[in-house]
A and B are shown apart, each in its own frame.
Chain A
Amino acid sequence: MNVGITDVFEPTLRIFGEPATNTQFSRIVPLFMATPEFAESLRTISTLAKLPANWDSYGSPAVQTPAVQRAVEVLAACQALCPTAPRIVPVAGGGLQIEWDVKSRELEIEVLPNGSIEVLMVEGEMMIETPLPAERVYPIIPMLLNWLSAENPHATAIR
């Protein structure tokens, strides 16, 4: 069976039947541990990774492979903590954006075409934008999600 990267999470395949070798995804999260939300998010990314050039009708290049790889890392870092399944959208230029909102708070994690990450935290009119170094994805993403869901209005995620 010849399966490409973007075919790994083809929706018609059952989760436990999905191929677990020779893919970038399987190196990150064992599939038998994937939550339904995580698997669904990967399917969305798989769909977006197949968008052709000019998908936005304004001349954008296709979603770039480094962005896909990094977005999967971000999802893997947060899968146990996601308050809700994220919205995942393509960004013109070849990147991806992962978004959540909980009450008055919003969190946007944008993966740029080269795989670098920009974060936007929103609470009402207050917005904080900051880059997130790739090597800090695993410690920082859970903190960001804790901030998103925290009851304490003065909770801060980035120290």
Chain B
Amino acid sequence: MPPRLDDQESIRNDEDLWRRVIPLQASFFLAEDMQWQPSSAVFLDRTNRELSVHVSSITTVESVLANFPFHSLLTLKASVPRELGWIVCRDPIKNDPVLPDDPSHALICPSPDTGINKLKTHAKQMARKAKWVVLRNPPY
């Protein structure tokens, strides 16, 4: 697979990137500012270290959550992963055997220089800067 290239042309730094959060994974806890904070696990993927997101300017909340009535939705500015050295690029889904077509699909990918011992730190930093677009049923 060729290396992913940062796409600052079509995904600007102020673009909101959305990521669905399964209720089991949200691990809501009250941070010091008394806001519900997501687990850093939301921003970890050990399959190939790439995180799926949706480019908000070309989709809608209803579309992203259409088949997920219990999921919440987080938003993260594209500048946040880029400041950590990660790459943000478009990855529209079409004719995938598992996932439905989604032209808004994009990826956040660690740079090849990101050591394995930085992934959790970066995930934590992203989780801290993420904001809820939709927060469903915090458990406490």
Any chain A CB within 8 A of the CB of B52? Answer: yes
Interface size on B, as a range, is 20 to 34
Any chain B CB within 8 A of the CB of A99? Answer: yes
CA distance A49 to B52 in the complex (A): 22
CA distance A68 to B29 in the complex (A): 23
- Kindly count the residue-residue contacts between A and B in the assembled complex, taking CB atoms under 8 Å apart: 92
User: B124–A127 contact, CB under 8 A?
Assistant: yes
CA distance A57 to B105 in the complex (A): 12
Q: Which residues of B are found within 8 Å of A113, using beta-carbon distances?
A: 46
CA distance A41 to B71 in the complex (A): 23
Beyond known contacts A59-B99, A92-B41, A131-B117: 19 more, CB 8 A cutoff: A48-B24, A57-B20, A87-B27, A89-B24, A89-B39, A92-B45, A93-B44, A93-B46, A93-B47, A97-B40, A99-B39, A101-B29, A110-B41, A118-B117, A118-B120, A120-B121, A122-B124, A129-B117, A129-B121
Residues of B within 8 A of A (CB): 20, 22, 24-27, 29, 32, 39-41, 44-47, 52, 68, 71, 98-99, 116-121, 124-125
In the complex, 21 of the A-B residue pairs with CB atoms within 8 angstroms, ordered by the A residue number, are: A57-B68, A57-B71, A59-B98, A60-B47, A89-B26, A90-B22, A90-B24, A91-B41, A91-B44, A91-B46, A92-B41, A93-B45, A94-B46, A97-B40, A99-B39, A108-B120, A110-B120, A118-B119, A127-B124, A129-B117, A129-B120
